[in-house]
Amino acid sequence: MSNKQPQVHELTMVEAVNLALRRALNDDENVVILGEDVGTNGGVFRATEGLKQDFGFKRVMDTPLAESMIAGMSVGMATQGMRPVAEIQFMGFIFAAFEQIVCHAARMRNRTRGRLQCPLVIRAPFGGGIQAPEHHSESTEALFAHIPGLKVVIPSSPTRAYGLLLSAIASNDPVVFLEPKRIYRMIRHRVTDHGQGLPLDTCFTLKQGSDVTLVSWGAMVHETLQAARKLEADGISAEVIDVATISPLDFETIRRSVRHTGRCVIIQEAARNGGVASEISARIGESCLPWMKAPVQRVTGFDATMPYPRHEHLYMPTTDDIVAAARQTLEGI
């Protein structure tokens, strides 16, 4: 038995993604990485930097500019015993691969009555906040959360990016792994490279509270934590929940919190109509109504295309928006 201790690294989120990919490639020879510029160039955000040099071009493969082909080839490899991790450079370009993901990857186990499984991961940077042009700032996670057979995972920190990505790669079902690029390099955490994944069926309670429950995921978790600190300075105790896996949704953790506080604000960067916040709000209405002291509030983006850089800040929900919504729930409005 080796006495080698796991190494601890001080990493940004994108570096944690790279570390998880490196660990998976090292531990399982069936893991392969493919996508546009993921090899020689190390990826558009450098998430795969150095992997081709260390593991070779047969395991870290540059592909043509063809998202449908990337997803289709991944489905084929996954059904034949490999564990492909495909990168779509920006979520706005994932729609070309939508048919392969929804009609083939998500249905493979059901279609073959369990004879074939589809252990693939589709990674995509998503969300706004970096002043990118059109098609580079989408937050359309709800489209994938609606599809049976898909897991949809969104990390909010380097630690969770490392652990959740390892679990996504180990999953025998397809996972859409959405990385909020706004926080790729915003924070650093100590990440232990022990090769252990985090559960894909659990919300993470980041802060205990008793007056109001704040629910969010991805980059908006950071504005939500800032809002909780502002509220705390005014004597308001907010519980903060990071959903992390939006499908399948661990609603039990949210339900326990809401029954305790009696109030809930759900925060998402995505457009309001038909979003994950709407689903959570509906479930609270179905099962928590006797405990509610005020209607559920949603803080969301607008039902509009993400603006070009000059007006992007007008679209993004802010800490002050969250604080205002929490105060409304406390006033019973």
pLDDT, tens digit, for every residue of 141-162?
999 999 999 999 999 999 999 9
Instruction: Report, as an integer, the average pLDDT of 49-72.
Output: 97
Apex 39 CA angle, 100 and 127, nearest 5: 55
Angstrom distance (rounded) from CA 69 to CA 236: 51
Instruction: Report, as an integer, the average pLDDT of 118-128.
Output: 96
Location of structure tokens 């449908």: 68
Give catalytic status of residue 136 as yes or no. Answer: yes
96: left (phi over 0), alpha (psi -120 to 50) or beta: alpha
| DSSP output for 256-288 | HHHHHHS-EEEEEEEESTT-HHHHHHHHHHHHS
Q: Phi then psi for 121, rounded to 5 degrees?
A: -120, 130
Checking if the pLDDT of 62 tops 70, the result is: yes
Apex 218 CA angle, 140 and 137, nearest 5: 45
pLDDT, tens digit, for every residue of 189-247?
999 999 999 999 999 999 999 999 999 999 999 999 999 999 999 999 999 999 999 99
Peptide bond between residue 248 and the one before it cis (omega within 30 degrees of 0): yes
Specify whether the CB–CB gap between 240 and 205 falls below 8 A: yes
- Please state which of the four CATH numbers 3.40.1380.10, 3.40.50.920, 3.20.20.140, 3.40.50.300 is assigned to the domain occupying 204-331: 3.40.50.920
For the chain, domain boundaries? 7-193, 204-331
Q: What is the pTM of this model?
A: 0.96
Instruction: Give the count of beta carbons closer than 10 Å to the beta carbon of residue 255.
Output: 18
Checking if the pLDDT of 132 tops 90, the result is: no
Name the residue type at position 53.
Answer: Q
- Please state which of the four CATH numbers 3.40.50.970, 3.10.20.600, 3.40.50.620, 3.20.20.80 is assigned to the domain occupying 7-193: 3.40.50.970
Is there a shared CATH topology between the 7-193 domain and the 204-331 domain? yes
Tell me what the pLDDT averaged over the chain comes to.
95
pLDDT, tens digit, for every residue of 17-32?
999 999 999 999 999 9
Question: Which among 9, 136, 189, 194 is annotated as catalytic?
Answer: 136
pLDDT at 2: 54
CA quadruple 181, 182, 184, 189: dihedral positive or negative?
negative
Instruction: Report, as an integer, the average pLDDT of 112-121.
Output: 97
pLDDT, tens digit, for every residue of 79-96?
999 999 999 999 999 999
pLDDT at 283: 98
What stretches of 88-153 adopt beta strand conformation (E)? 121-126, 151-153
| DSSP output for 210-263 | SSEEEEE-TTHHHHHHHHHHHHHHTT--EEEEE--EEETT-HHHHHHHHHHHS-
Helix, strand counts (H, E) of the chain: 12, 14
Tokens of 299: 């803080």
Specify whether the CB–CB gap between 273 and 304 falls below 8 A: no
Checking if the pLDDT of 134 tops 80, the result is: no
